[in-house]
Amino acid sequence: MENNNVPTITRCAARRGWLWWTEAFKLVRDAAGAWYGLGVAYCLMLTLPVTLISVLLVQTLTQLAPLGSLPMILIPCFVVGFIAAGWSQARGQKPEIHHLFAGFKSDVKTLLVIGAITVALSLIINSFVSPFSSPEYLALAQNIHTGENIEAFSALMFSSSFLLSLLLWGFLLSLLIMAAWLAPAVVVFQHTTAVPALLRSLKALCVNWRALSVYILAPIVVIICCSFILGVVSVIFSLAAASAGTLFATLIVLLVFTFIPWLVSVSTLTAFVAYCDIFHAQDHVFPRDFPQSRNA
């Protein structure tokens, strides 16, 4: 049954988008070992089925390869697991591996419906709206090695029809991601059904488009800055010795793979932090003391 006591959506300041990252980072930093284990378990349980199913489908029938994304319907259940772990840590308890399965013990049907709707709509958008799935694009991309096809491919990429299709594709995917991002938290805390949860998530993020823009741009800026610094350092090492440059690049790759479980934990927890900020900014039941903002 749907909860009629719907929390008010708060219009957050733009800078809150950056603080969604920092609040999530603090949670992970304070229990780094536990969150690393949760991140590893999540990656293994999600990527292994996707990989195995994709390989089997490709070997059976190439056209069925997109169905390899079917295990992604479990993502909302795992997101609830991260929320449960974050909620427990904010109240003085240590995140544990059993928290990861909290979404499979409560509201699992609703969460699976959210996952199924998200996967189905993403497949539809990518199959019928994406310009990269059009027959003309695929034909030119497969035979781009000839000079004539390179010119035709360039003309297609800069054509008004391709650019409009690209814009529509990006717009629809953005709306879908916005609808799905906070939906698991809405289900858990507001006890609603799938479609209202998706719509409330979409509405909340449309109202907070400024904070959402900062949230999206912040990691992009950080990645660009880190890439520039690492590129400069790599060039310096390469100038000193070719082997040193190769060794440095290898170490960077290893470090990136080492930090992936933490990055997954931080990025997933931002949904919990953002939900608290937007729907419960003035509710002391929630763990973080967010600044007062205007109600939408």
pLDDT in tens, 97-139: 999 999 999 889 999 999 999 999 998 998 889 888 887 777 7
In the chain, how long is the greatest CA-to-CA distance? 67
Residues 85-98 have pLDDT tens digits of 999 998 888 899 99
> Does the model's pTM come out above 0.85?
no
Is residue 262's pLDDT more than 80? Answer: yes
Residues 179-219 have pLDDT tens digits of 999 999 999 999 999 999 999 999 999 999 999 999 999 99
Q: Which residues contact 224 (CB under 8 A, 6 or more apart)?
A: none
3 found inside a domain: no
58 found inside a domain: yes
pLDDT of residue 44: 86
- Phi and psi, residue 295, nearest 5°: -80, 145
188 found inside a domain: yes
149 found inside a domain: yes
Is 210 in contact with 278 (CB distance < 8 Å)? no
Q: Which domain holds residue 115?
A: 10-295
Q: How confident is the model at residue 290 (pLDDT cuts 50, 70, 90)?
A: very low
Is residue 156's pLDDT more than 70? Answer: yes
Neighbours of 162 (CB within 10 A): 17
CA torsion through residues 7, 13, 17, 23, sign = negative
52 found inside a domain: yes
Is 40 in contact with 64 (CB distance < 8 Å)? no
5 found inside a domain: no
Rounded-to-integer distance, Cα 16 and Cα 24, Å? 12
Q: How confident is the model at residue 291 (pLDDT cuts 50, 70, 90)?
A: very low
The CA radius of gyration of the chain, in Å to the nearest whole number, is: 22
Residues 22-48 have pLDDT tens digits of 999 999 999 999 999 999 999 888 877
Number of domains in the chain: 1
